[in-house]
Amino acid sequence: MAEFRELCQKRRSIRKFTDREVEPEKIDYLLQCALMAPSAKRTCPWEFIVVRDEAKLRQLEGCRTYGSGMFKTAKAAIIIVLDPTLSDNTWMADGAIAAEHILLAAAEQGLGACWCHVHEREGAPDLVRQLCGVPEDKQILCAVALGYPDEERSPYDLARLKYEKIHQEKY
């Protein structure tokens, strides 16, 4: 029963990766998990673009002035692209849930991962759109950098969680 909580506890944003390539079957696993994410009215407004080309990954590093340095050593990335016409204003939430499925699946597979927000950030959407051939009628939510961790992050300390953020009726 505690396995999912332990996965959440150990999942941390990893921004430095080793030279080890990510196996195609692990990428496929992450994509399968993303495709199972819930979406409003099961519209599945997302598409996923896998980037493995080293030159493109290094160019993704320049998509933001801050917060995209993880692409310097990433071995792969998954771009979450959405069709906003398929949902009534829930496309961003639908994409975020799919991205979280990718992040958790990556941790489960022993991979490091880090979310890089793209939507309406500096020139990020234009660069990613051009690099990945994303049509103008689609929205780019984020890019998830992937690889084997080359840094160690401590799991979340359950005693230090911000429990004051929880409000509930007494039961």
Domains detected in the chain: 17-151 (3.40.109.10)
* Res 21: pLDDT: 98
Residue-wise pLDDT for 104-144, tens only, equals 999 999 999 999 999 999 889 999 999 999 999 999 999 99
The gap from C-alpha 130 to its chain's centroid, in whole angstroms, comes to 20
* Res 103: pLDDT: 98
Q: Are the C-beta atoms of residues 81 and 51 closer than 8 Å to each other?
A: no
- Global pTM reads 0.95
- Apex CA 58: angle with CA 52 and CA 60, to 5°? 85
Helices assigned H by DSSP within 11-76: 24-35, 54-60
Q: Which residues, given as ranges, of the chain have pLDDT below 70?
A: 1-2
- DSSP, residue by residue, 106-135: HHHTT-EEEEEE-TTSTTHHHHHHHHHT--
* Res 2: pLDDT: 65
- Secondary-structure percent of the chain, ordered helix, strand, coil, rounded to 5: 45, 20, 40
* Res 139: pLDDT: 97
